[in-house]
Amino acid sequence: MASFGIWVLTIFLAFQSGYGFYLPGSYPHKYKVGDPLSVKVNSLTSIDTEMPFSYYSLPFCKPAEGVKDSAENLGELLMGDRIENSPYRFKMYTNETLIFLCQSGKLSADEFKLLKERIDEMYQVNLILDNLPAIRYTVKEGFVSRWTGYPIGVKFQDMYYVFNHLKFKVLVHKYEETNVARVMGTGDAVDVFPSGGKGGSDVPGYMVVGFEVIPCSVMHNGNVVKDLKMYDKYPSEIKCDTTTVTVPIKEGEPIVFTYEVAFEESDIKWPSRWDAYLKMEGSKVHWFSILNSLMVITFLAGIVLVIFLRTVRRDLTRYEELDKEAQAQMNEELSGWKLVVGDVFRAPSHPALLCIMVGDGVQILGMGVVTILFAALGFMSPASRGTLITGMLFFYMILGIAAGYVAVRLWRTIGCGDHKGWASVAWKAACFFPGIAFLILTILNFLLWGSHSTGAIPFSLFVILLLLWFCISVPLTLVGGYFGAKAPHIEYPVRTNQIPREIPAQKYPSWLLVLGAGTLPFGTLFIELFFIMSSIWMGRVYYVFGFLLIVMVLLVVVCAEVSLVLTYMHLCVEDWKWWWKSFFASGSVAIYIFLYSVNYLIFDLKSLSGPVSATLYLGYSLFMVLAIMLATGTIGFLSSFWFVHYLFSSVKLD
């Protein structure tokens, strides 16, 4: 509660002072000239393998005080981030050149082989300064590209070169005094806002607003550095030329590492310092495509809705305008959906499984909506590593109450109020989706463990996840099931006949239409899906959560409409088995998403190498597709259930 009060006070004061406040991410840090700045290292990553590895798994320089893990949250560990301290040290607004870092030991056969493999697999080094990843600019044919991190090395004419000299540029912005009061921060934020006014300090302060790196391969004299210690001055000039590589790595020979740093004052203000990472190439084209897609889908969904409402309303209006004698005569000559009045609420096959899947779908859908809403408001920005995954886990566990409630209440509705078996349904709802997720993640984790990747979930974290599942999620689901058992079940408006009505032979398989219905929901999200896939597998920063929220709302509307239309069409041809078909009418979008994932693997991830990487990709895609199927299927089923209940309660058929 204290931290919440600090947030409210800070935002209020920021608005009162007339300055915008950067809500998400981290606190602004003010540094005086000469204050130490620490550079951190994250896992080595590559879009070729999608398997992160520890920075210190390669023969790089280690800090004098030893390697220490930085504070990490659950989401960072699950994403494979391993943030550690590094030997790179800067002093605020103090330019330094010719800094000797270290000389590695003589490369063993294993180290030499591993370096070559990592260079071949295009692994990137990821450095972090004041929570900003190092960014690298490249110019090709007059076009400037931005990249986060820099490659370990390069292969040229069958020789391997390591980038052993780094040229850093740190962009800083002079702190602008405001009338914002001093607020105590948390964690490593000592002075969030310095006090202004007459009592303020005259010493100028600066904030880090940019972190750029230029890697070079430089020839060093091994004999000269023998007596040098870390951070000593390198005795000769170092020329950093990005167009040439000078010294290849060889087995049995050491590597000398050096760096230089220059500070530059910038007009970029602290709230805008992430713009360079978010405004990646082609963003305007993608924004236009998303907007265009949303307009088309909204128009198409509107047409479907209007046609559908007019058709049903005409049926009901015509029936209600008849007098009682005409209605009695009409009842004898019923056709279409009116003929299945005695079977429309007949219990479906595998009712417990349907209840469990709908309950889990409500839980996943609720988690998605709440998480995206918080992210769109700025509470889960890219600057806060791991908060998105952590938030998703938290909301998923809390919404176990909704899963248990919906699953048990639907179970009692199908059983016409019978309480028998509700605890079993609630228990299975608590274990169905998480159980499948744990199975997939465990198999993939064994592959990552075997590859010694930092993407592997540590055993201790596995235990924590199991404890969260069985100590929080399962009990909350059972509590929700208890409330669902106590709540009144939904009563059917018509009686169900003892003998089921025979379904007439259809001209075409009904499941074919159900599977094809998923194309319309897929059309609402396939462009946004490209952004999400690029963020996950291409290392790009995803930030358009506002658009994602709009797309999700559209997806919910379209899934409901598609399922309603399909259910009505099946009832019109006297097919009363609508329960599962309404679920998969909208849930079938998952099939197209999985096919899109395969297409993305073949055409966009051409360089993905090795069966392990492909298995990881397909495994995570399967996990994502299962969650989407449950969420979208639940939307379709619940909307169809409401429609069928409303339709048959609007007309009295005996």
- 83 and 112 together in one domain: yes
- 241 and 339 together in one domain: no
Indicate whether 497 belongs to any domain. no
pLDDT on residue 14: 34
- For the record, the structure tokens of 71 come out as 């504070």
- 435 and 484 together in one domain: yes
Residue ending a domain, among 242, 272, 302, is 272
Which residue is associated with the tokens 């010294």? 247
254, 103 in Cβ contact below 8 A? yes
SS3 83: coil
Which residue is associated with the tokens 């972190």? 211
Indicate whether 189 belongs to any domain. no
Indicate whether 644 belongs to any domain. yes
- 330 and 461 together in one domain: yes
Indicate whether 504 belongs to any domain. no
Indicate whether 501 belongs to any domain. no
The neighbour count for residue 145, using CB atoms within 10 Å, is 11
Q: What is the largest CA-CA distance in the chain?
A: 110
CA dihedral of 59, 61, 65, 66, whole degrees rounded to 10 = -20
249, 161 in Cβ contact below 8 A? yes
Q: Using alpha carbons only, what angle is made at residue 209 by residues 203 and 213, rounded to the nearest 5 degrees? A: 120
User: In whole angstroms, what is the distance from residue 301 CA to residue 305 CA?
Assistant: 6
CA dihedral of 381, 382, 383, 386, whole degrees rounded to 10 = 90
- 227 and 321 together in one domain: no
- For the record, the structure tokens of 501 come out as 């009505």
71, 55 in Cβ contact below 8 A? no
- 144 and 79 together in one domain: yes
- 168 and 310 together in one domain: no
User: Residue 123: CA atoms inside 13 Å, Cβ hemisphere, count?
Assistant: 25
pLDDT on residue 406: 96
Residue ending a domain, among 272, 304, 326, is 272
- 478 and 402 together in one domain: yes
C-alpha distances out from residue 232 to 86, 102, 224, 638, Å: 17, 10, 12, 69
User: In whole angstroms, what is the distance from residue 147 CA to residue 134 CA?
Assistant: 9
Which residue is associated with the tokens 């769109």? 376
Q: Which secondary structure element, helix H or strand E, spans residue 144, and what is its range?
A: strand 143-148
3-state DSSP percent of the chain in helix, strand and coil, to 5: 50, 15, 35
- 313 and 432 together in one domain: yes
- 322 and 230 together in one domain: no
Indicate whether 296 belongs to any domain. yes
Indicate whether 106 belongs to any domain. yes
- 294 and 146 together in one domain: no
* Chain CA centroid to CA 224, Å: 49
User: In whole angstroms, what is the distance from residue 250 CA to residue 107 CA?
Assistant: 7
Domain count, the chain: 2
Residue ending a domain, among 250, 272, 294, is 272
Q: Which amino acid is at 232?
A: D
C-alpha distances out from residue 525 to 79, 108, 297, 551, 596, Å: 24, 50, 10, 6, 11
Among 203, 182, 200, smallest CA distance to 192 is for: 182
SS3 393: helix
User: Residue 410: CA atoms inside 13 Å, Cβ hemisphere, count?
Assistant: 30
pLDDT on residue 338: 73
- 378 and 315 together in one domain: yes
Residue span of the structural domain in which 446 resides: 283-491+522-650
Which residue is associated with the tokens 């929700």? 480
pLDDT on residue 573: 82
* pLDDT mean by block of 10 residues, the chain; 654 residues: 35 34 57 92 89 93 89 76 91 92 91 93 93 88 83 91 94 70 38 41 80 92 82 87 84 93 92 76 56 68 70 64 54 60 87 96 96 87 80 95 96 83 94 95 91 87 92 96 92 83 76 86 84 82 80 88 86 85 94 94 79 90 96 95 85 54
Q: 96-103 and 143-148: which strand pairing? A: unpaired
Contacts of residue 153, Cβ cutoff 8 Å, sequence gap at least 6: 115, 119, 160, 161, 162, 163, 217, 249
Among 61, 163, 49, smallest CA distance to 117 is for: 49
- DSSP result, 93-134: T--EEEEEEEEPPPPPHHHHHHHHHHHHTT-EE-EEETTEEP
623, 347 in Cβ contact below 8 A? no
Phi, psi of 297, rounded to the nearest 5 degrees: -65, -40
326, 551 in Cβ contact below 8 A? no
Indicate whether 185 belongs to any domain. no
